[in-house]
Copies of this chain bind each other. A is one copy, B any other.
């Protein structure tokens, strides 16, 4: 494969190239998810975000999510690119593209991908508000991993 389906980049992400990566004659449906920087979270106003990643492991984990999807939804193709560094409001943080012969799998696999990214991919977000800043750990609000590591499907 000359192009990588799973990438971490430090520049703006374009959606069309990801669509191209998953396009094929068997596909009848392509779904994309575009995660953008939202200005307001409840009553807190975000000024900008900073994303950090453990890049080589993050790429591996994205590919692992791709493998999980392949086994759950056969005959799908997935591409994911996540951006790191400073992002302003409305900037694109992540794009997920899934192609499939039929639409149901394209929706389901896409949603699965974003849920898994938020669980297992070593990427961190620092929120910068007008009156402060903080690293965000989504999982602090969730069930801790009983085994000390997230469940990775083989």
Q: Could you list which residues of chain A lie within 8 angstroms of chain B, going by C-beta atoms? A: 14-16, 19, 23-40, 89-90, 99, 101, 103, 106-107, 110-111, 114
Contact = CB atoms under 8 A, between A and B. Distances in A.
A40 to B, nearest CB: 7
Given A90-B27, A110-B107, A34 B36 contact: no
List of 8 A-B pairs having minimum Cβ-Cβ separation, nearest first: A28-B38, A30-B34, A25-B39, A32-B32, A107-B111, A25-B89, A27-B36, A31-B33
A42 to B, nearest CB: 10
A32 B34 contact: yes
A103 B35 CA distance: 8
Given A19-B15, A31-B32, A90-B23, A38 B103 contact: no
